Amino acid sequence: DAMVIQNPRYQVTQFGKPVTLSCSQTLNHNVMYWYQQKSSQAPKLLFHYYDKDFNNEADTPDNFQSRRPNTSFCFLDIRSPGLGDAAMYLCATSGQGRYQETQYFGPGTRLLVL
Amino acid sequence: SQQGEEDPQALSIQEGENATMNCSYKTSINNLQWYRQNSGRGLVHLILIRSNEREKHSGRLRVTLDTSKKSSSLLITASRAADTASYFCATDGMDSSYKLIFGSGTRLLVRP
């Protein structure tokens, strides 16, 4: 059974046209993450939520925003996609713990910007 | 910023051989994890080793951790073609910030 679900799996958008990627989880985890991964590179953390507390990485461009309306869902909004934003976007979750424990990843959404 | 560097960047072996990947990191950690990523897919957690542990096994996987050298290794024994994937180490920070920092990854190809 899928625990972290990402939709769509593939997304094509036009340069400058806003796009939203979605993630849902059935694990009831407190923490949700969004990563950007470009070809042959490590995942790069964009931001994460601890419950409703939003934590932005210092080098995440303002073009990227996120919403978490409830525990189960989290959205990644790209306000004006550029060609450099074409990448795989990974959502992950983790439970509450004193230290960082296992993260559970969704299958990813591959974004293509035309 | 990237915490871990992995070595080698790419590894090609014959089925049945062992594969060893190494990870080095920069700062003190609470634990270190290894993840696997099949092409075009999400990451899957393989194993977690805590800073007070030196070695851990899971099936055909063996992980070692040397905190004095700030390094870890992942050994896959008796490799199979299905082990072909990218392997990433990931470390946490001591600040309990719920973040992982991933290494650069090793791309493993197991030839049938």
Residue of B91, B100, B104, B109 to mutate, interface with A, max A Cβ within 10 Å = B100
- Whole-number pLDDT of residue B80: 97
Segments of chain A with pLDDT less than 50: 98
Residue of B9, B36, B48, B99 to mutate, interface with A, max A Cβ within 10 Å = B99
Measure the CA–CA gap between B75 and B50, rounded to whole angstroms: 17
Chain A hits for B41, CB-CB cut-off 8 Å, are: 107-108
- How do residues B66-82 score in pLDDT, each as one tens digit? 999 999 999 999 999 99
Using a pLDDT cut of 70, give the percent of chain A over it.
Answer: 94
Using the predicted structure, report yes or no on whether residue B103 has a pLDDT greater than 70: yes
- Least Cα distance to A38 among B40, B12, B8, B87 occurs for B40
- Whole-number pLDDT of residue B30: 86
Indicate yes or no: CB of B98 within 8 angstroms of CB of A50. yes
Q: Is B20 exposed, middle or buried (0-12, 13-18, 19+ CB in 10 A)?
A: middle
Using the predicted structure, report yes or no on whether residue B65 has a pLDDT greater than 60: yes
- Better-predicted residue by pLDDT, B18 or B99: B18
Indicate yes or no: CB of A99 within 8 angstroms of CB of B99. no
Using the predicted structure, report yes or no on whether residue B93 has a pLDDT greater than 90: no
Tokens of B55: 């070695």
Interface membership of A68 toward B (CB under 8 Å) = no
Cβ-contact A34, A20 below 8 angstroms? no
Tokens of A13: 């958008």
Indicate yes or no: CB of B88 within 8 angstroms of CB of A43. yes
